[in-house]
């Protein structure tokens, strides 16, 4: 549960899904967001091709738009890459960095993720830094070691509640329908909070820590009720407005 000092954030990561017609589904999210009455922040991170259209559709609503990745540099000869400044220019206020799909498929290291988080800050974007253990790491009892190393290496100095959100996404829970027990989630989130506090002091108390991995309407309430869980990073279930709104509705 997000305590009074942290406003919950429910963010949808559309990954490589969505065409122009998806603006219609997004408009339903915007319409439904009115019911939240400011009790939680709502965000959708579409593919880059839809940033401008969704930012336009979200205008004068409380739904924010984010990117899914950025390049560390602000411009240059990097074919196919997108700068944080470009995301901001397209209407994004945040960017996900270090998602496990990028760490795995694009071999991104903690140092890469850290550089991207710094790029996000340079462009005045909120950095949503993802960390998470693989199944084998969990089975070997290395979960907290792995997460501690990822957190230390991926979060730059100077993190504050205004520029950083941490998302805990166990790799084995992404897209599988599996989730850790609420107890395990609570243990990991407390560990993340303490690790941030060792480095950042009191600021750590205000940084939001999201849970991600097979969150849906039917399990959101118990997962979001765990201590130090300040919202969700939602994949598949964010593609359907009704399901996404049901998750956010936990805070309504
Ligand atoms: P799912 O919600 O589809 O498991 O994906 C989680 C995720 O990776 C969000 O970034």
- Decide if 189 is catalytic: no
**What is the rounded average pLDDT of the residues 79-102?**
98
Render pLDDT for 167-209 as a digit per residue (tens, 0 to 9). Answer: 999 999 999 999 999 999 999 999 999 999 999 999 999 999 9
**Residue 63 domain-assigned (yes or no):** yes
**Residue 241 domain-assigned (yes or no):** no
User: CA–CA separation, 56 vs 176, rounded Å?
Assistant: 33
Task: Using DSSP, state whether 46 is helix, strand or coil.
Answer: coil
CATH number at residue 176: 3.20.20.70
**What is the rounded average pLDDT of the residues 226-237?**
98
pTM for the model: 0.98
**Residue 3 domain-assigned (yes or no):** no
Is residue 139 scored above 90 in pLDDT? yes
User: CA–CA separation, 76 vs 66, rounded Å?
Assistant: 22
Task: Using DSSP, state whether 64 is helix, strand or coil.
Answer: strand
Instruction: Please give the pLDDT value at position 3.
Output: 60
Is residue 37 scored above 90 in pLDDT? no
Residue to substitute in 16, 175, 231 for testing ligand 1 pocket (most ligand atoms within 8 angstroms of CB): 175
**What is the rounded average pLDDT of the residues 92-107?**
98
Instruction: Please give the pLDDT value at position 121.
Output: 98
Q: What is the CA radius of gyration of the chain?
A: 17
Question: Both ends of the chain: CA-CA distance in Å?
Answer: 13
**Residue 247 domain-assigned (yes or no):** no
Buried b (16+ CB within 10 A) or exposed e, 160-179: ebebbbbbbbbbbbbeeeeb
- Decide if 169 is catalytic: yes
Q: Is 233's C-beta closer than 6 angstroms to any atom of ligand 1?
A: yes
Q: Is 132's C-beta closer than 6 angstroms to any atom of ligand 1?
A: no
Percent of the chain with pLDDT over 90: 95
Q: Domain containing 115: what range? A: 9-230
**Residue 237 domain-assigned (yes or no):** no
Buried b (16+ CB within 10 A) or exposed e, 21-49: ebbebbbebbebbeebeeebbbbbbbbbe
Element containing residue 141 per DSSP (H, E): none
Instruction: Please give the pLDDT value at position 215.
Output: 98
Ligand 1 atom at minimal distance to the Cα of residue 173: 4
**Residue 167 domain-assigned (yes or no):** yes
What's the number of domains the chain is made of? 1
Instruction: Please give the pLDDT value at position 5.
Output: 83
Instruction: Please give the pLDDT value at position 35.
Output: 84
Read off φ and ψ for residue 229, nearest 5 degrees: -95, 110
Instruction: Please give the pLDDT value at position 2.
Output: 55
Kindly report the average pLDDT of the chain as a whole number: 97
């Amino acid at each position: 549960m997000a305590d009074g000092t942290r406003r919950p954030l429910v963010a949808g990561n559309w990954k490589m899904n969505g065409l122009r017609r998806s603006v219609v589904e997004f408009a339903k999210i915007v319409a439904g967001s009115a019911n939240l009455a400011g009790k939680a922040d709502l965000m959708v991170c579409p593919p880059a091709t839809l940033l401008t259209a969704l930012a336009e559709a979200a205008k004068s609503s409380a739904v924010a738009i984010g990117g899914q990745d950025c390049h560390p540099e602000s411009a240059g000869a990097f074919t196919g890459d997108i700068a944080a400044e470009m995301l901001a220019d397209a209407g994004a206020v945040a960017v996900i960095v270090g998602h496990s799909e990028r760490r795995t498929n694009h071999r991104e290291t903690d140092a890469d993720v850290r550089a991207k988080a710094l790029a996000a800050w340079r462009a005045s974007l909120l950095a949503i830094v993802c960390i998470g253990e693989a199944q084998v790491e969990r089975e070997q009892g290395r979960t907290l070691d792995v997460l501690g190393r990822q957190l230390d290496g991926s979060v730059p100095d100077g993190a504050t509640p205004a520029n950083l959100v941490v998302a805990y996404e166990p790799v084995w829970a992404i897209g599988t329908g599996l989730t850790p027990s609420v107890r395990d989630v609570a243990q990991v989130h407390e560990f993340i909070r303490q690790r941030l506090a060792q480095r950042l002091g009191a600021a750590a108390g205000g940084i939001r820590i999201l849970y991600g991995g097979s969150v849906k309407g039917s399990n959101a309430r118990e997962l979001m009720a765990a201590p130090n869980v300040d919202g969700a990073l939602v994949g598949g279930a964010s593609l359907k407005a009704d399901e996404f709104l049901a998750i956010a509705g936990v805070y309504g």
